[in-house]
Amino acid sequence: MDTQTLRLFVAAAERLNISAAGRSFGLAPAMASARLAKLERELGAELLHRTTRKVSLSQEGEAFLPYAREILAQSEAARAALGLNADSPSGILRFAAPSSFAQLYIIPLLPTFHAQYPDITLDLRLSDTRFDLIEGSFDLALRSAPLKDSSLRGRKLGEDKRILCAAPDYLARRGIPLNPQDLDGHDLLSWGNATPRDLVTGDKRFTLDARRMVCRTILDDGTSQRIATLAGGGISVNSHWNVADEIRTGRLVHLLPDWQLDDASVLWLIYPQSNVLTPKVRVFMDFLLAELTPAPWQL
């Protein structure tokens, strides 16, 4: 199977535009269409639905797309093993990450990365709602969680300590909690999953239960949590990295600093175990680890 035609198919599937995909490989529209038609004949399936107005993936095309990407990844890895293209990683890298973290720490680094690796295109999918890494055909993802899934591999980017914080004006109105029991009755900017969570310090443990607090706002986005807390909306549980600058400058107050959430969350750069670690993925991982170590959000 011709890998160049597979690259053309992947590009056409991602852009839903055969002519644009062809131009990226220096092919005229008619030539690009002819190559894709030949691939479909070889496979015995229509991969792309074509009309005069648009192109869309067929059901067979959706099923074949992750395998096409895997074949190309294996091809890149094989060439890298032979020292081919080792100095110039290229291709489209699909990367999923929490939007809150990416806005603060990854997006500002992109010009530097592209200056070093001009042949890599980053396809970033940013959301605080977690993507399925395998079903989404992502090359790499940033996750904040214990790495329990045996189908995934990863490299640790940093700790993800969770802290309680509030704005000074809120605390002036409602008082500063000096121990976990003082949290009862305070306004809480709640997380999406409002199940009880444990606070720990040394061998002491306290269950933080949203039902014992006043919760009028539920947020599942870290940036929105930070903004609502700054506005005086109440006490929130935030990732350390999300509010580090606000804590440093006094715009937010770190509450109960001797206590922290006992959730063992860690920032991981992860990829499917079945995937080979291609040069484009390896250099992006190495770049992020180099730029974000030591962690710039350390208090």
Output the DSSP codes for 62-84: HHHHHHHHHHHHHHHHHHHHTTT
Domain with CATH 3.40.190.10 in the chain: 87-159+265-299, 162-261
Region class of 22: left (phi > 0), else alpha (psi between -120 and 50), else beta = alpha
Q: In the prediction, which pLDDT does 136 show?
A: 55
Across the chain, mean pLDDT equals 86
| CATH top class, domain 162-261 | alpha beta
**Are β-strands 260-261 and 204-208 bridged in parallel, bridged antiparallel, or unpaired?**
unpaired
pTM over 0.75, yes/no: no
| Of 4-13, 108-117, 192-201, the least confident | 192-201
Site of tokens 């890494």: 133
Q: In the prediction, which pLDDT does 134 show?
A: 46
Percent of the chain residues topping a pLDDT of 70: 89
CATH of 1-78 given 3.30.1020.10, 3.30.70.20, 1.10.10.10, 1.10.238.10: 1.10.10.10
Percent of the chain residues topping a pLDDT of 90: 51
Average of per-residue pLDDT across 247-271: 90
Q: Is the pLDDT of residue 143 over 90?
A: no
Q: Which fold has domain 87-159+265-299?
A: D-Maltodextrin-Binding Protein; domain 2 (3.40.190)
